[in-house]
Amino acid sequence: MQSWPFAKLSIILVTRNHWGATAQCLLSLADALPDLPVEIIAVDNGSTDGTPENLTQIEDVHAILHDDNMGLAAAWNEGAHQATGDVLLFSHNDVFYTKNSLRRMLDALADAPDAGAIGAFTNRSRHCLATVPAYTSEEELQDVAALLEREQPLRRERMVLDGHALLVPRTAFERVGGFDEAYRLPGLEAVDFSFRLHTHGYHLYCAGTYMHHNEDSFAVNHVNAAQTLADQEPHFRDVWETGSTYSVNLRLDLLSMMDMERPGLRVLDAGCACGTNLMRIREANPSAKLYGIELNEKTAAIARCFGEISNEDVEQLDRPDWDGTFDYVIAGDIIEHLRDPWAAVRHFARLLKPGGAILASVPNILFCEQIYDLMQGRWDYADAGILDRTHLRFFTKQTTRELFEGSGLVVRDMRSNCSLVEPERLQGLARDLMALPWAHVTEDELLAVQWLVDARRPEDDVQDATDEKAGRA
């Protein structure tokens, strides 16, 4: 018998119609229950397909029935308030739990004293998606889950978890105040909950286990999932002063240019948002010294889970004690937002150790689609992209290189990020532009959406750094 430091597990299932999926979910839970006292609470949000009557006939299920739809988050909160367990599992009703999934999630929670929630890999996910062999039967699904459990570590840290199955210690749930009841439909409720857990110092982990999520309750209840996310985004922005995806982006393209396992690694992420890059570096190198600068206090509070974070404008940064101390300064998508990026890059260069690097991404205003729009008489600012309305400065490949070399750095690597949308049309545009007699650009310069830069402080810059510090003393 497995021993866990938990007294009781409460499973809180929210239902609204789609009894077939609910029945299958309950059957899979019966096969997955751990050797631990368990209660199952089903909160029904006004089902009209016989679900309430069926739930009341199941002896081991405590049914809470509502005539109207109180919303997903509110239903989870009500179930939690009536639950008696010290560990709570919040679940959708169209999830199929594999036989070892709950045990694996409990193992991960027991292994992580700092955990605020544990999630799981699934076939449909924005944050814990797993690439697994195809399966067409329950037996094949169980085999896939067993394979993933052998290949994956017990847990991996995540910035955000999905809401299909969230295992949460009661203490963490009560400390953050439960789910935001403004989220009536599945969508951003789990993102908001993840953010709030981080602001209270908790970490989030995806357990090395797998379950199947049908996610067809949307269709049964005539709900458009994509439209639901779009409708919830304004409330999320009002609360967090950022979008639900932008501030959690992981810049693997920039991190791939870094030696993350270097002993004594010291990294500054300028404009670190929620700290996703720092989280990944911390996972690869637990002894790394990690720092961030973030203007948004709300996302800075999240990033503090992963490093020492300063809530300030990078252009106002004044930390002479940081001079010459960093192996890397990450500047992902911030250069174009600065009033004086040339001064900022000079400052970042001072922060580097000799041989240290600025790893930056800079939008390419020479991207051929922008030129096409310009030749149509259009220069339209947008919420995101090269003409993001918050961009103040614009660069080409040549002027990006000059930006860094002008600060005494050596551009060791400069790569292009290219659009995956309509590549043939874009290549045709690029060829047409290159055919102009006055054009002096390469196809790469016209197809790049942004430039990824590795700009290094020379190894022999030791004396210059010493003189520079003495001059400011």
- pLDDT of 223 higher than 80: no
Topology classification of domain 9-238? Spore Coat Polysaccharide Biosynthesis Protein SpsA; Chain A (3.90.550)
For residue 462, what pLDDT is reported? 63
pLDDT band at 421 (very low <50, low <70, confident <90, very high): confident
For residues 239-250, average pLDDT: 92
Question: Please, are residues 324 and 216 in contact by the beta-carbon 8 Å criterion?
Answer: no
pLDDT in tens, 64-108: 999 999 999 999 999 999 999 999 999 999 999 999 999 999 999
- pLDDT of 460 higher than 90: no
pLDDT: which is higher, 318 or 166 = 166
pLDDT in tens, 177-194: 999 999 999 899 999 999
pLDDT band at 473 (very low <50, low <70, confident <90, very high): very low
For residue 35, what pLDDT is reported? 92
pLDDT in tens, 248-272: 999 999 999 999 999 999 999 999 9
pLDDT band at 469 (very low <50, low <70, confident <90, very high): low
Mean pLDDT for the chain overall: 93
- pLDDT of 322 higher than 50: yes
pLDDT: which is higher, 419 or 243 = 243
For domain 313-472, the CATH architecture is 3-Layer(aba) Sandwich (3.40)
Could you tell me the pTM of the whole model? 0.90
Q: What is the 3-state secondary structure (H, E, C) of the chain?
A: CCCCCCCCEEEEEEECCCHHHHHHHHHHHHHHCCCCCEEEEEEEECCCCCHHHHHHCCCCEEEEEECCCCCHHHHHHHHHHHCCCCEEEEECCCEEECCCHHHHHHHHHHHCCCEEEEEEEECCCCCCECCCCCCCCHHHHHHHHHHHHHHCCCEEEECCCCCCEEEEEHHHHHHHCCCCCCCCCCCCHHHHHHHHHHHCCCEEEEEEEEEEECCCHHHHCCCCHHHHHHHHHHHHHHHHCCCCCHHHCCCHHHHCCCCCCCCCCEEEEECCCCCHHHHHHHHHCCCCEEEEECCCHHHHHHHCCCCEEECCCHHHCCCHHHCCCEEEEEEECCHHHCCCHHHHHHHHHHHEEEEEEEEEEEEECCCHHHHHHHHCCCCCCECCCCCECCCCCCECHHHHHHHHHCCCCEEEEEEEEECCCCHHHHHHHHHHHHCCCCCCCCHHHHHEEEEEEEEECCCCCHHHHHHHHHHHC
For residue 393, what pLDDT is reported? 96
pLDDT: which is higher, 167 or 1 = 167
Q: Please report, for the chain, the start and end positions of each structural domain, with discontinuous segments joined by +.
A: 9-238, 313-472
For residue 406, what pLDDT is reported? 96
pLDDT band at 470 (very low <50, low <70, confident <90, very high): very low
For residue 461, what pLDDT is reported? 75
pLDDT band at 280 (very low <50, low <70, confident <90, very high): very high
